[in-house]
Amino acid sequence: MELVFATHNLNKLNEVRLLLPKHINLLSLADIGCTDEIPETENTLEGNALIKANYVLTHFGYNCFADDTGLLVDALDGAPGVYSARYAGAKNNAQANIDKLLLELQHSSVRTAHFKTVIALLWQGKSHFFTGTVHGDITYEPRGTGGFGYDPVFKPDGYDKTFAELPMAVKNNISHRGNALKKLLEYLHLQAS
């Protein structure tokens, strides 16, 4: 089974490849020759994920899935949300995003937040959505060197380490993306049987 994951983010791609069974040949945008930066112009995670998957299907003809992820911080009324990757500006700079987040929370004792990932799958002419979440807290300073994005400041419920401190296998098992991907894989397994 061949499937495209519509992302240029190598960290995301590697995370997903670790979770997929061997019978799924996961292709990246680079593998299919897509160097375009697909615009995310919707104001929902679902909308942005679908835009990316539609772009690949329309321009390259592959069954495809794409995701969009947001960090929703309670003290910030759900911000940065759909704008998580560009929170500190259009350059998509993870460290700048973390710095802005910590600055905005510096006087807040409410640190609860959750990550939400929505995967849009375009499979044999139909669209399907799979959602995963993980709840936790924003730390007061970055900790750890693993992961990417907001991982150094997100401590999932039930753990005393941030996503950036946890081993990748543990993070993948409990993460928002991991939870959404499990639902996607269950669906693909049903289609293959």
Q: Which among 31, 36, 68, 77 is annotated as catalytic?
A: 68
Give the pairing of strands 2-5 and 80-81.
unpaired
Phi-psi region of 14 (alpha: psi -120 to 50; beta: other; left: phi over 0): alpha
The answer to whether 68 is a known catalytic residue is: yes
Contacts of 10 (CB under 8 A, 6+ apart): none
Tell me which residue has tokens 């089974």.
Answer: 1
Q: Hey, what are 126's tokens? A: 């139909």
Question: Which residues are the active-site residues?
Answer: 68
